[in-house]
Structure 1
Amino acid sequence: MFRTLLLTAVALLPLAAQAAELPESIRSRGSIVTAIVPNYPPLELRDPATNQLTGFDVELGETLAKRLGVKMQWQETTFDQMIASLRTGRVDLILSGMSDTPERRGVANFVDYLRSGSQIFTQASRAAEFPNRDALCGKAVGASRRTNYVNVLRQFSDAECVAKGRPAIRVVGTEGSADARTQLRQGRIDAAMQGNETLPYIMAQEPNTYALVGEPVEYTLMGIGTAKDAEALRTALAEALRGMMADGSYAALLTKWNLTPSAVEKVTINGEG
């Protein structure tokens, strides 16, 4: 009996150590307040049958919180408000498919957990018009104006179209990825860009509707956003994520949500480490 209790206590030591690393405000509250925008499946969405939050980010966050000895308290917001909520202390984290970009590192730090490819796609019925990305020059391509994809498209247009004497891509900022797909189906734009981690899910939900155009334009890291001065929280999250990678639970979640190609090999902070 004593041996069983001793082994149990030893097994719980990592959890206790991780919980102790959390800031006092989080430990006393017993939860991590986390911003999320549940409109980016399969990372975050509301289950159509139950209206409950679900998705890779949701399950990842719940698992990390459990390992840290607290609960995840989700706070729905808009994408535009997430950074502001973090900076003003209304939330402790952002876990909502946010790209870790140099611009955002000026106001937040990121524990990187996925790799995202900026993928252009078009209507399946028009796939023959776009055998490669060069065919996009002079065409209208949409992307959510709240993301970095608008800048990615402009840079691609400058380098691959304008610099080679071809007409520039007409970049159309949309109200989100769903709006971009709506405009695409309506013929208001010729193609759209969003993260390649989402497209297998969308193409399964809407079969024979979309076709990929070439390979991703570039790859970026997705990160769990923390405040610049939240070093203890950032360190605890990184260690908990390393634990998930070591015991296979990170890989299992990726498999469940069909995200294995988006896996990162190691945990980095702001792309380093």
Structure 2
Amino acid sequence: MSAAPVILSIEGIGKNFGGFHALSQVDLQVADRSVHALIGPNGAGKSTLLNVVSGHLAPSAGQVLFRGRPICGRPPHETARRGVARSFQITSIFSGFTVFENVQMALLAQHGLCTRMFRSAAPMKRDEAFALLQLVRLDGAADRIAGQLAAGDRKRLEFAIAMAGTPAVMLLDEPTAGMSPDERAIVIGLIRKINQERGVAVLFTEHDIEMVFAIADRITVLHQGSCIADGAPEAGSPRFQCNK
């Protein structure tokens, strides 16, 4: 069977903050429809790399290609519209709005409908919003205030918001941070579902090694801003192609 095509290519990425080299010559390729884990100790540069890919930070060197086309230097909202969605370690939702309204607003924004100030938004994109809530198993909580949700439910809501843009790639930063074992299991199942049923490639950072080996097709290790190992997990332990 031929290898899956590369959908996201990170080539020679460097990022400096003054005299501090947060990233140095990072090379990484994410295959289409794959789940790719990015691991390493605190301060290794994992979140910084996701911020560069998503457009929240401009790289000091190198380039990022999405479907073979460069996306560095574009604002985050444009990167998201092209098909690269970003989820943060701390959930980013409208806490005072309902679960349904959060997803509906994301759909309206994606379709350029938020500027229609004099039209009622209530009937717009309702079916699509409920379909996304069903995907993340939050349709029963549609009328709840988002700020009242538990950590795992907030993360699922953020996934639904990200999916409003019909992404081809999702960037997830510590998706199970601070969750109970039951909440982690739900989120892990959701990542699998988004990947397998929707065909979305996932690049995620994670400290939970059990989770990494449970769902990752490939693992990359960062240390002090450099990629030191990369490979597929085998027999419960990764056999890495070391770069140093």
Say whether the fold is shared (TM-score over 0.5). Answer: no
Q: TM-score, normalised by structure 1?
A: 0.22
Computing the radius of gyration over CA atoms, which structure comes out larger, 1 or 2?
Answer: 1
More helix by share: 1
